[in-house]
Amino acid sequence: PVLVVDFGAQYAQLIARRVREAQVYSEVVPHTATAAELLARDPAAIILSGGPASVYAEGAPAMDPALVEAGVPVFGICYGHQLLIRALGGDVEHTGGREYGRTEVQISGTGGVLHRELPGRHPVWMSHGDSVTTPPEGAVVTATTDVSPVAGFEDTARRFAGVQYHPEVAHSPHGQEVLRRFLRDIAGIRPQWTTASIVDDQVAAIRARVGEAHAICGLSGGVDSAVAAALVQRAIGDRLTCVFVDHGLLRAGERTQVERDFVAATGVNLVTVDARERFLDALAGVSDPEEKRKIIGREFIRVFEQAERDLKARGDYRFLVQGTLYPDVVESGGGTGAANIKSHHNVGGLPEDLQFDLVEPLRLLFKDEVRRVGLELGLPETIVHRQPFPGPGLGIRIIGEVTANRLETLRAADAIAREELTSAGLDSDIWQCPVVLLAEVRSVGVQGDGRTYGHPVVLRPVSSEDAMTADWTRLPYDVLERISTRITNEVSEVNRVALDVTSKPPGTIEWE
């Protein structure tokens, strides 16, 4: 692999993603890993990430000088650029000159390998206080700025290079090309990490792990569990059984999407458990949001455990498939060992004493790779590009008690909103658009000749990168108008449509 050493910036994961976009496999490792540990992985190259610190700050994360003695290609970025320069005998100083944000670099001489034939001046994204003042002996300076005399350097004979700017961010438009050139032309790595190779590798790994045993996968209707299941199905065929719990809190068409479209695309064995009444009974009389979540989580586990016992009685179901993604793995410490069951399942979390070995075929993948694998495996776009939907489903979008009638009302309004957003081509502009039914609020309206006394629904369109923060999406008025007109005409209980114009923070995305 290409190892991206994380010096504490939020950029390391992004660098790893960019390396993979250049079709080279990469992983993030903490800066506390020793040179011996890194070299034991037999890396094709090492990339030193940016970091928040000054190389002179007390306790600033350091780089083991042995790294540059091992004959492995090394690329430094920002803070990593400065560490590498120092390890090679160059100088980094507090010059007082800082660069933050958009900056123009100037190509030096021919630009070397990394900057050759790029525009003589072009924008890059900078974020540093200290500057490299003297390049190491034998290195060529390939780029400069007004503040940084060594904004780019390379030593192609020893296969070292670095840039002061952040090539991984979109604000550095030639950054991806620079990264690609380092990997291909300086490190000499052949691009081999393609979607097809990911599928082949994972299928082989799953076969080796599961052997002749059987596996269970809980499907939520979401992307991750669907792609994980499709991979395992490709590996072990009929020895996988998927369990889909219909808790009655799904949106219109979601059960069909799993039962018909997913099964048609994969040929997977599917058991659907119809638990709609059970969930409604358990939720009767409850309107507190946390209480609802707890009940839904608890009931989900009970239903899933029953399905699991039924299967175990029929075969050697020893494995449980989970759709854990690489960012979760990195964030929970990046362990490569066996994971214990975490409570990241879509609904409530699975119980801790579950007697299963885990299969996590997406453990090494980023979300965009998961989607590409899904398409490679023939899953429909509707599943692969599905927007996030909370595990407790419509249960936390009805403000007040959840009842069958209210679910029907909300499902109808939600389906209209989704239909109109899709036909206006807005799906890729929004992260998600919850529709919320204010079931305990009534307002007066007039329809035809009569007075109505119905409920409002709220549209909550948001734009976001990761759901941690979000902004309300400025939807075109004509689309809002169509949604509003259709909902008030077609959904009898609803006589008013409101728009939520709150960012997150302070509002969360969901209302409960």
Residues at the binding site for ATP are 220-226
* Minimum CB–partner distance for residue 504 and ligand XMP (Å): 5
* Minimum CB–partner distance for residue 396 and ligand XMP (Å): 7
Is the previous residue joined to 505 through a cis bond, with omega within 30 degrees of 0?
yes
Q: Which stretch binds ligand XMP (CB under 6 A): 23-31, 385-393, 451-459, 493-501?
A: 385-393
Among 498, 454, 411, 495, CA closest to 419: 411
Q: Which of 293, 406, 418, 496 binds ligand XMP (CB under 6 A)?
A: 293
CA dist 6 and 444 (Å) reads 58
Q: Is 486 exposed, middle or buried (0-12, 13-18, 19+ CB in 10 A)?
A: middle
Query: Which position among 166, 214, 247, 345 bears the catalytic label?
Result: 166
SS3 label, residue 116: coil
Contact 165, 105 (CB under 8 A): yes
Q: In the annotation, is 242 catalytic? A: no
User: Amino acid identity, residue 331?
Assistant: E
Beta-strand ranges (E) seen in 94-249 are 99-107, 121-128, 131-134, 140-144, 152-155, 160-163, 214-219, 240-246
- The backbone torsions φ and ψ at residue 322, rounded to the nearest 5 degrees and listed phi first, read -125, 145
The answer for 335, left when phi > 0, alpha when psi is -120 to 50, beta otherwise, is: beta
Angle subtended by helix axes 477-490 and 404-423, to nearest 10: 150
Q: In the annotation, is 171 catalytic? A: no
Q: Which stretch binds ligand XMP (CB under 6 A): 96-104, 253-261, 383-391, 438-446?
A: 383-391
Binding mask of the shown chain, residues 179 to 218, with x at each position contacting ligand XMP by CB under 6 A: ----------------------------------------
* 150 interacts with ligand XMP by CB under 6 A: no
* 391 interacts with ligand XMP by CB under 6 A: yes
Binding mask of the shown chain, residues 463 to 482, with x at each position contacting ligand XMP by CB under 6 A: ----x---------------
Contact 203, 235 (CB under 8 A): yes
Binding mask of the shown chain, residues 315 to 354, with x at each position contacting ligand XMP by CB under 6 A: -------------------------------x--------
* Of 70 and 467, CB closest to ligand XMP: 467
User: Amino acid identity, residue 174?
Assistant: H
Q: Which stretch binds ligand XMP (CB under 6 A): 17-25, 68-76, 420-428, 501-509?
A: 501-509
* Of 33 and 467, CB closest to ligand XMP: 467
* Minimum CB–partner distance for residue 463 and ligand XMP (Å): 12
Query: Which position among 31, 78, 214, 308 bears the catalytic label?
Result: 78
* 500 interacts with ligand XMP by CB under 6 A: no
* 119 interacts with ligand XMP by CB under 6 A: no
Q: Which of 312, 318, 486, 504 binds ligand XMP (CB under 6 A)?
A: 504
Residues facing residue 214 across a β-bridge: 317
Complete edge-to-edge strand list for the sheet that includes strand 240-246: 269-274, 240-246, 214-219, 317-321, 357-359
* 447 interacts with ligand XMP by CB under 6 A: no
Angle 51-55-61 (CA atoms, 0-180°, nearest 5)? Answer: 60
Q: In the annotation, is 69 catalytic? A: no
Binding site for ligand XMP (CB under 6 A): 293, 346, 388, 390-392, 432, 467, 504, 508-510
Which residues are marked as active site? Answer: 78, 166, 168
